[in-house]
Amino acid sequence: MLRLVRRRAPHAVHNPAYAVVRLAGEITSENADRVADELRNALRPAVRTLEIDLQRVTFLDSNGARAFLPVLRPAQQHGIRLVVTHTSSEARSAFDRLGVTHLLDIHEGAMPDVG
């Protein structure tokens, strides 16, 4: 199950808009294309930060983590910061194996204040 929620930082008028994609369940090679589509759809012109919330992800391997690859270049080209929150050690290892941890702002917990 994938869910897209767009929101603006509620506490600061001068903060740029950001979007949140909350992923749930297992992310594997079976659904990586669908996940990639959801992430690409969240890259809208007004968005400056895309938070990818993994709190409800129960499994993410290297094949599933490949879903993040198609959004890296467009995000960089449009100046969009990619923040991955609630990242398990399993997910971080998958990103490490792909060699993309330096391209993602990875957090074990919630999104840090944008202010």
pLDDT digits (tens, 9 = 90+) for 55-113: 999 999 999 999 999 999 999 999 999 999 999 999 999 999 999 999 999 999 987 66
pLDDT digits (tens, 9 = 90+) for 18-43: 788 999 999 999 999 999 999 999 89
CATH topology of domain 2-8+17-106: Transcription Regulator spoIIAA (3.30.750)
Can you give the pTM of this predicted structure?
0.83
In this structure, what token pair is assigned to residue 52? 């990818």
Report how far apart, in Å, the C-alpha atoms of 52 and of each of 13, 45, 83, 87, 104 are. Answer: 22, 17, 6, 9, 10
Q: Which residues contact 71 (CB under 8 A, 6 or more apart)?
A: 36, 39, 40, 43, 50, 82
Helices 69-77 and 32-41: angle between axes, nearest 10 degrees: 20
* DSSP assignment of 34-55: HHHHHHHHT--TTEEEEEEEEE
**The amino acid at 92:** R
